Structure 1
Amino acid sequence: MSAPEQRAAPDRGLGAAATVSLRILLVAAAAALVVYVLVLLRLVVLPVILALLVATVLAPPAGWLRRRGAPAALAALAVMLGALVAFAGVFALVIPTAIAELDDVGATAREGLDEAVRWLTRGPLGLSEAQIDRAIDQGLDRLRGSGEGLAGSAARGALLLAELVTGVLLAVVLVFFFLKDGRGIWEWVVNRIPARRRPIAHDIGTRAWDVLTAYVRGVAIVALFDAVVIGLALWIIGVPLVIPLAVLTFLGAFVPLAGAVVAGALAALVALVTVGVVPALLVVAAVTIVQQVEGDVLYPLVVGRSLELHPVAILLSLTAGAVLAGIVGALLAVPTAAVAWTAYGCLRPPAERRTT
Structure 2
Amino acid sequence: MAQPHSDAEGSPIIAAEARAAQVSSDEHPFGRPGRRFDRRSPFMIGLAGAAGVAVTYAGIQALLAAGQVLLLIVVALFLAIGMEPAVSWLVRPWFPRWAAVTTVFLVGIGLFAGFLAAAIPPLVTQGGALVHNAPDYVNHLARRYPFVKSLDERFHLHDHLQQSLGTDSSHLVSGALDAGRMVFGIISGIVIVAVLTAYFMANFPQIRSSIYRLFPHDRRPRAILIGDEIFAKVGGYILGNLLISAITAGLTFIWLLIFGVPYPLLLAVLVALLDLIPVIGSTVAGVIVALVALTVSLPVTIATIVFFIVLRLLEDYLLVPRIIGRTVQVPAMVTVVSVLLGGALLGIIGALLAIPVAAACLLILRETLLPSLDRH
Normalization by structure 2: what TM-score?
0.67
Structure 2: how far apart are the matches of 1:105 and 1:212?
A: 37
Answering whether residue 340 of structure 2 is matched by residue 315 of structure 1, we say no
Describe the superposition over 1:29-84 as per-residue Cα deviations: whole angstroms up to 9, x where unpaired.
xxxxx999977764455334322332244334434554264554454234323211
Match of 2:141 in 1: 116
Highest CA radius of gyration, 1 or 2? Answer: 2
Answering whether residue 330 of structure 2 is matched by residue 305 of structure 1, we say no
Q: Which amino acid aligns with 1:311?
A: A
Structure 2: how far apart are the matches of 1:171 and 1:41?
A: 15
Match of 1:239 in 2: 261
1:331 to 352, 355, 358: 352
Q: What residue ranges of structure 1 are gaps of 5+ in the alignment?
A: 1-33
Instruction: Map residues 133-148 of structure 1 onto 2, 5 A cutoff.
Output: 134-137=156-159
Q: Could you tell me how far 1:211 is from its partner in structure 2?
A: 0.7
The answer to whether the 8 A contact 1:39-1:324 is kept is no
Q: Which amino acid aligns with 1:194?
A: P
Match of 1:252 in 2: 274
Q: Could you tell me how far 1:317 is from its partner in structure 2?
A: 1.0
Match of 1:265 in 2: 287
Higher relative contact order (Cα pairs below 8 Å, separated by 6+ residues): 1
Match of 1:195 in 2: 217
Normalized per residue, which structure has more helix? 1
Change (3 A) 1:185 1:66: same
Answering whether residue 77 of structure 2 is matched by residue 52 of structure 1, we say yes
Give RMSD over aligned pairs: 4.3
Q: Could you tell me how far 1:335 is from its partner in structure 2?
A: 1.6
Change (3 A) 1:166 1:190: farther
The answer to whether the 8 A contact 2:249-2:268 is kept is yes
Structure 2: how far apart are the matches of 1:237 and 1:69?
A: 51
Structure 1: how far apart are the matches of 2:128 and 2:194?
A: 37
Change (3 A) 1:143 1:206: farther
Match of 2:316 in 1: 295
Match of 2:35 in 1: none
- 2:326 alignment partner, SS class: helix
Question: How many aligned residue pairs are there?
Answer: 315
The answer to whether the 8 A contact 1:50-1:171 is kept is yes
Change (3 A) 1:159 1:236: closer
Normalization by structure 1: what TM-score?
0.70
Q: Which amino acid aligns with 2:104?
A: V
Percent identity of equivalent pairs: 26
Match of 1:86 in 2: 111
Q: Could you tell me how far 1:87 is from its partner in structure 2?
A: 0.6
Q: What residue ranges of structure 2 are gaps of 5+ in the alignment?
A: 1-58
Structure 1: how far apart are the matches of 2:322 and 2:373?
A: 25
Q: Could you tell me how far 1:126 is from its partner in structure 2?
A: 8.8
Q: Could you tell me how far 1:141 is from its partner in structure 2?
A: 8.1
